[in-house]
């Protein structure tokens, strides 16, 4: 078998794992290793390399894991509150309307009487009665939970998260989070004494810390085992 | 949060197979296979022309395979 065929097979093996290749070349590539032990071994090694890359072991220091878990639990509590809130709001509104319906006549007469005694002009006490009718709406507004971080990605303090100009991966992840309207929270890393990154609630993902674009990629393992 | 959900950018041991690759190549490899990005996304993220991304990944895979074979 010619060297050119081996080289073609090797090239296609890698290219097919980077991006889709034409069907005709794919068929040839599938068939070739069956008759070429050398290329079959090469295909296995290439696949192993890709699998190793996909399973690059990464983890975070315990403090980061704890911070992330805390955020997850906090988010779960928020979601639970939001689920319960509409029921409470409707209940509050119903009670308010019922109370006003029952007491409206008495309140009208009471206000009219008091205004007459104190010489308060009609429009004033009638306006006060109007406010009385606004109680259900105010009750609903008081019960309805507000988004703690309106407007998409915000830091815990309600401001845009720090580290806007940092590594491209971080920027892309942040833009994905922002597009999804996620909240980003700075995460403390007490081992390092700094904010190592931002935590995205939806993705349960720690965004990388600030750094120049030339910062090198790495994986950090908790157990000290050497990554790929 | 699973361990694999955390990717930190930091210094890397020089004797790691991946760490021995040039930064641009390592970055492209991780974006492609660890982050599952398309070539277009990688080009945008690293602010590089699209035609330069594929060769980086190609060279990285080739080099990594050779290193793993040696190890």
At residue A178, the pLDDT reads 58
Residues of chain B whose C-beta is under 8 A from some C-beta in A?
1, 3-13, 15-19, 23, 26-27, 29-35, 37, 39, 41, 44-47, 54, 57-58, 61-62, 64-65, 68-69
At residue A15, the pLDDT reads 92
At residue A214, the pLDDT reads 33
Query: What's the structural domain count of chain B?
Result: 1
**A208 pLDDT band (50/70/90 cuts)?**
low
Query: What is the CA angle A85-A89-A90, rounded to 5?
Result: 125
Residue-range definition of the domain harbouring residue B46: 15-70
Segment A173-199, tens digit of pLDDT: 556 555 555 555 555 444 444 445 555
Which position has the higher pLDDT, A21 or A142?
Answer: A21
Cβ separation B5–A203 shorter than 8 A? yes
Of A153-157, A214-218, B7-11, B37-41, where does the model show the most confidence?
B37-41
Q: Is the CB of residue A58 less than 8 Å from the CB of residue A208?
A: no
Q: Which chain A residue's Cα is nearest to B9?
A: A217
Mean pLDDT by 10 residues, chain B (71 residues): 35 61 89 89 90 95 88 70
Segment A113-151, tens digit of pLDDT: 998 889 888 888 888 888 877 776 676 666 555 554 444
In chain B the first and final C-alpha atoms are separated, in Å, by 32
CA distance B70 to chain A (A): 11
Q: Which two tokens stand for residue A226?
A: 């050497």
CA distance A149 to chain B (A): 22
At residue A76, the pLDDT reads 82
Mean pLDDT of A95-115: 84
At residue B53, the pLDDT reads 95
Interface probe for B, chosen from A47, A49, A62, A207 (most Cβ of B below 10 Å), is A49
At residue A177, the pLDDT reads 55
Which position has the higher pLDDT, A69 or B33?
Answer: B33
Cβ separation B33–A206 shorter than 8 A? no
CA A3 → CA A36, A203, B30, distances in Å?
A: 12, 47, 31
Cβ separation B68–A167 shorter than 8 A? no
CA distance A69 to chain B (A): 7
Of the candidates A215, A184, A221, A226, the residue with the CA atom closest to the CA atom of residue A61: A221
Q: In this structure, what CATH number is given to the domain that contains residue B60?
A: 1.10.10.10
CA distance B24 to chain A (A): 9
Residues on chain A touching B4 (C-beta within 8 angstroms): 55, 57-59
| Beta carbons within 8 Å of A11's beta carbon, 6+ residues apart | none
Cβ separation B61–A226 shorter than 8 A? no
Mean pLDDT of A103-122: 88
* The pLDDT of residue A16 is above 70: yes
CA distance B22 to chain A (A): 9
B1: in domain: no
Which position has the higher pLDDT, A92 or A148?
Answer: A92
Q: Which chain B residue's Cα is nearest to A168?
A: B45
At residue A136, the pLDDT reads 67
Residues on chain A touching B64 (C-beta within 8 angstroms): 49, 52-53
Question: Order of strands, edge to edge, in the sheet holding A184-189?
Answer: A184-189, A194-200, A205-207
Residues on chain B touching A215 (C-beta within 8 angstroms): 9-10
Mean pLDDT of A37-65: 80
At residue A205, the pLDDT reads 54
B63: in domain: yes
Which position has the higher pLDDT, A11 or A153?
Answer: A11
């Amino acid at each position: 078998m010619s060297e050119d065929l081996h080289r073609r097979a090797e090239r296609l093996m890698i290219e097919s794992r980077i991006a889709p290749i034409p069907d005709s070349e794919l068929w040839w590539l599938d068939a070739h290793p069956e008759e070429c032990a050398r290329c079959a071994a090469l295909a296995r090694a290439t696949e192993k390399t890709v699998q190793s890359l996909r399973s690059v072991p990464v983890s975070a220091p315990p403090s980061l894991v704890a911070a992330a878990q805390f955020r997850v639990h906090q988010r779960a509590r928020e979601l639970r509150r939001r689920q319960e809130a509409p029921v409470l709001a409707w209940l509050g509104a119903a009670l308010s309307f019922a109370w006003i319906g029952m007491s409206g006549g008495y309140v009208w007469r009471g206000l009219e009487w008091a205004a007459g005694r104190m010489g308060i002009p009609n429009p004033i006490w009638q306006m006060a009665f109007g406010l009385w009718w606004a109680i259900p709406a105010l009750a609903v507004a008081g019960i309805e939970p507000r988004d703690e971080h309106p407007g998409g990605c915000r830091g815990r303090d309600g401001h845009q998260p720090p580290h806007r100009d940092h590594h491209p991966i971080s920027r892309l992840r942040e833009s994905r989070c922002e597009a999804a309207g996620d909240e980003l929270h700075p995460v403390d890393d007490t081992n390092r004494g700094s904010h190592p990154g931002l935590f995205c609630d939806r993705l349960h993902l720690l965004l990388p810390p600030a750094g120049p674009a030339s910062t090198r990629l790495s994986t950090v393992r908790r157990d000290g085992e050497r990554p790929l | 949060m699973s361990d694999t959900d955390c990717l930190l950018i930091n210094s890397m041991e020089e004797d790691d197979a991946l760490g021995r690759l040039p930064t641009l190549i390592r970055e492209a490899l991780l974006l492609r296979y660890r982050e599952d990005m398309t070539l277009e996304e990688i080009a945008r993220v690293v602010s590089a022309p699209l035609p330069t991304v594929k060769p980086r990944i190609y060279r990285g895979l080739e080099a990594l395979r050779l290193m793993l074979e040696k190890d």
